[in-house]
A and B are shown apart, each in its own frame.
Chain A
Amino acid sequence: MSAHAGSIHHSEAPKGWIRHYIFSLDHKIIGTQYILLGLSAVTIGVILSLIVRLHLVWPNLHIWGFANGIVSPEDYLRVITMHGTLMVFFVLTTVPQSGFGNYFLPIQIGAPDMAFPTINMLSFWTTFLALIVLLASAFVPGGATISGWTSYAPLSAVGEIAGPGLGLGQTLWVVSIALFCGGSLMSAINFLGTTIDLRTKGLSLMRMPLTVWGWFITACLALLAFGVLLAACILLLLDRLAQTSFFIPADLSVSGVVLHHAGGSPLLWQHLFWFFGHPEVYIAILPAMGIISHVLSTFSRKPVFGYKAMVYSLTAIGFLSFTVWGHHMFISGMNPYSALAFSILTLVIGVPSAIKTFNWLGTLWGGRIHFTAAMLFAIGFVSLFVTGGLSGIFLAQPALDLYLHDTSYVIGHFHLIMGVAAIFAMFAASYYWFPKMFGHMMNETLGKIHFWFTFIGVYCIFMPMHYLGYVGEARRYASTESVNYMIALHPVNMFISFSAFVTMSAQLLFYFNFFWSIKHGKPAERNPWHGTTLEWSVSTPVPHDNFAGDYPTVYRGPYEYSVPGAADDFIPQHLAPEQVAKAG
């Protein structure tokens, strides 16, 4: 403990079951809680997208849970709103960062726990409460809100006069997101404090695993972005509950009634929301990038190609993410010069992104590649990142975006690059770290089958959406048959829906593999993948304070694979130079 400057006073593991598993202060339990929360949210989110795909191709299909079994246009909007909110906030934001990050950041930097264990527990329970409030909004009079995951004003601000779900349902949505902001801010402070202060001896910044860099930069983004969204949510709540008109313009007529509001601006909401919303995209993907770099290096048995360039490009993406929010607002009305500036800045993000992509390929190049399930998902991530990134370059042009905005093209784009890519990183992380978390291996064969179904499946789902959007299929329409030209697109939608059903079914393999392997998987050794970073130096299951008081010293960078002259093809970070076995 003396090597540690941090203010953690270490303690024995708590005895009671509640203190151990429910209100735990242990980062590993909290990380697992976050992962299970994300798994619950993603399950609901996927069921909602199943309803979307069923409804789009069979509008008259009776679905349990809806009035008369029929999904009305309002119900459809409720479903996509809930799907988006759950997935973006409670899955993509939560699992790679607060889930896997909580579990592995302290171990990878040689710390006994996070810097603020109590705040860590509070941030989880705040997030949990946010999820409960969001889910509760589906069961109040009027039901869940219909305003989409972006909750654009004035629809979200004027109250129930504007339609079903815009009363209490919308209020609960805003409360849920405000709570989520609070939880994320606490979590971000914890990640930053831990990474800055609790690195063990010898773990300089440029020896941190790229996972740690990903979580660190993401925490910076979260710290700066969620504070803004919190304020925006407060203003929206004032509009809804205190009758102010921040986001409601004068003489607005809703449902035939002229409202007594004046002076506000719906554009203000868009600015505030997207000032958060664009960094949010990177909050979802930066931890994923870290995880992917980590996994690619391990299974290529090669150091990450251009480690420093990886760090600088992560930082550059993080910085640029705060300068591009206007590209979500090209059609909202904007000075063309502003649009030009936002467009150029957006294109500039392509540079660090390309650096990362080429470095991933450079890491693979000439490696002795082990095609494990984790590695397959990591390679799949690179593929999705390139595909989704390329369509982003089109959308970044105002002239093209005017046409493609609010079409399926955008849906295809952001699902590939933000949604599915981050999900692939979560799968890679699950297969990779499962042995350390639960002491058993996941089944590799099932994992590979899961990968191929998912990989081909998501391309079959989202690639045709680019085409649909290009021909003009509008986003958020409850029916693809209400507009003449869209009827002709029905076969494509049918194809997408069937692809979605197959891909969703394939996820059952993962659920089964995950829960079955916790008890019945092959017992895992301490370092099954021959990894170099500190999480593989501790015993499995990881002891309560990670290193049992014996904190490691780090002697080298994180990815010393296939070092010439060494006996093994990996040299762990904590091995003293004299302990490294020489070849021959």
Chain B
Amino acid sequence: MKDIFENEMKLEFISKSSNEAFARVAVAAFVAQLDPTIEELADIKTAVSEAVTNCIIHGYENRQGIVKIVGYLKENEVILEISDNGKGIENVDIAKEPLYTTKPNLERSGMGFTIMESFMDTLEVESIIGLGTKITMSKKIKPKIENDEGEFQMITKD
């Protein structure tokens, strides 16, 4: 049975690097419904930026194509699927290694996947050569409670 999500959105745009800012801000506005902290929101924006950059630079290698983002909100969790129909990744395990890059001449740091992995809770990469790549990442937004003074506090679980 398909999961029922509380909210869902789809976003498609052409693979121009000027759309990176649009993508991360749009996703952040969607996620804002879960009332994340500034830090949580910054983490998600950074991860989205890395993923979208990968689609544009590596997936399409600056040729024109469509980048697709599907976002789900489920209870206190954000799930994001970011995909392209580009060239695909030959070896996902190697691509995920810190500092690994296929384009060092373009001042790429090779930190994209590492940042996505550490800023989000989960990251999955599915890729088929010649067909494209889809990454799915999720992050739980910590619920907040109101204390006596009317200030919000983080709930921390041991």
Question: Bound pair: A and B?
Answer: no
